[in-house]
Structure 1
């Protein structure tokens, strides 16, 4: 009896232990800790049941299964190159890249098999379509606008996949060699044209400056003559006023002054000079000297 009792106690304790172990396992399996950078998709009997957000979550063991662990970090697609033809029939090779992240993993895992390949194909088609609407010069000059258009179009296309497109980039736009050579010739021709225009403008400016200089000199000459004429007119007015006020004496005084100035000019000549004057001239000069002397006195 004692041995049977011991065996019964051991069996009962073993069952309790096994039950406790099973309970611990169930509790452990029912608790799911999801990292901050992930979301977990839970299936029950093969169908979508719930999506576990970052943090502590609880599921029903043996019924619920974490079927997919999806990273919600931003991803970058490998750089892709695709050929496109612009509206003015120029073949270009466009290098593009797209950044995205999964925000609704339940859509991503059940609606698309290969996310990266699907997005790459979508981007290639959109890039070709958008570049086909633009001329080559517009592609080069409006790259930012082109990027915004591509990003918006990709967002609309992948909306049903639970994906958010965070950024799209056009890394490079390459041309074939024939187009490059043609553009180089056009650039050289444009540079030559600008050089000719600059040279012509320089010559034109030089002529304008020379004309301005001549006009300024003429204006200054005319101004000087006008001043001289004004001075002579003023002097004549003074003489006329003096004659008017003093009568004949003032006129004789001016004549005598001019005679003396003329005689001084003759005497100031170079070398020895002999001046022969008639007798009445000597008398006139004598009268002039007397008048000057009298006028000064």
Structure 2
């Protein structure tokens, strides 16, 4: 078998090197920078590209996708509270400024970080802690505006900036939690007090209504008792018993009715005094004497009033 000529092997190797040196691939959303003898030649977009071997070279590649950089900044608020802010910056290389992005800026992430620090430490010290939470969008917009003005000269477009986290000092967070808890307890206590007040008012109204009805019932009862007594006196008057004697008789009758009702109750501890056989007679005599004395006093008062009236008329 004849040996394969060395010249052919050399030719094949050179051909392979030429192929690899001439053709190169650029991925989607990527740009390649071509330099010729160390000098910028052109920007190549995605796809299969050609270059002159040993003359041109791929100096670098630029990512055209949207990228995100998270920057954590520690600063102090207007009310002297140290706080850490996490700022997320979304940026992208502008397709028509790939040259500027590659040659003008060595480290874009460091440049963006510096501007974020500068803006945040200029804006946050103007606000108290509560306003930092409420106006975090203002801080994000200020960062975006500053970065856009600075980074577009380097071929970078700032898509969006977000303040994604605000983390105060641990002691401050503990104090804020205590304040919030106290506020919630205060509101809860107010609701409980209002509920208790409503219960008390409702109970008082119910008791007042109960007392009113109770008083009305007692008044109706006494009215009926008085009507019954009046009818009893009228009946006794019709049989020749005067009002005083009728009243005494009714009282004595009520006395014995009470004794009878007490006797019917087996478990009662009530004792009515006096409670002797002559108690009814004594009560009747006392009542008659009282009525007589009352009539005498009444007649004397009428006589005195009449004499006083006559003296006035004579004068």
Pick the TM interval, shorter chain: 0.5 to 0.7
Matching of residue 113 in structure 1 with residue 106 in structure 2: yes
Q: In structure 1, what is the equivalent of residue 253 of structure 2?
A: 263
Matching of residue 125 in structure 1 with residue 118 in structure 2: yes
Q: In structure 2, what is the equivalent of residue 58 of structure 1?
A: 50
Q: Is the 8 A contact 1:51 1:106 kept in 2?
A: no
Structure 2 distance, partners of 1:252, 1:127, is 111
Q: Displacement, 1:25? A: 4.9
Q: Displacement, 1:125? A: 0.8
Deviations along 1:80-105, whole A, 9 cap, x unmatched? 444x443x352635354545454333
Structure 2: gaps (5+ residues): 260-271, 289-315
Q: Displacement, 1:207? A: 7.5
Deviations along 1:63-84, whole A, 9 cap, x unmatched? 64322123446656575444x4
Structure 2 distance, partners of 1:173, 1:59, is 53
Structure 1 distance, partners of 2:189, 2:276, is 63
Deviations along 1:47-71, whole A, 9 cap, x unmatched? 3522322x32334556643221234
Structure 1: gaps (5+ residues): 1-9, 243-247, 282-297
Q: Is the 8 A contact 2:87 2:140 kept in 1?
A: no
Deviations along 1:199-229, whole A, 9 cap, x unmatched? 8997898678656644542332123323444
Please, what is the CA RMSD of the aligned residues?
5.3
CA distance 1:148–1:226, change in 2 (3 Å): farther
Deviations along 1:213-264, whole A, 9 cap, x unmatched? 4454233212332344456668888999x9xxxxx779859x9899568425
Structure 1 distance, partners of 2:133, 2:190, is 31
CA distance 1:197–1:68, change in 2 (3 Å): closer
CA distance 1:169–1:263, change in 2 (3 Å): closer
CA distance 1:71–1:189, change in 2 (3 Å): closer
Of 216, 235, 238, 1:226 maps to 216
Of 154, 165, 168, 1:161 maps to 154
**What pairs with 1:267-286 in structure 2 (closer than 5 Å)?**
268-269=258-259, 271-274=275-278, 275-276=280-281
Structure 2 distance, partners of 1:196, 1:168, is 35
CA distance 1:140–1:30, change in 2 (3 Å): same
Q: Displacement, 1:135? A: 1.9
CA distance 1:51–1:262, change in 2 (3 Å): farther
Of 129, 132, 135, 1:136 maps to 129
Q: Is the 8 A contact 2:33 2:40 kept in 1?
A: no
Q: Which moved more, 1:22-31 or 1:198-207?
A: 198-207
Structure 1 distance, partners of 2:116, 2:57, is 35
Q: Secondary structure at the match of 1:94?
A: strand
Q: Is the 8 A contact 2:86 2:166 kept in 1?
A: yes
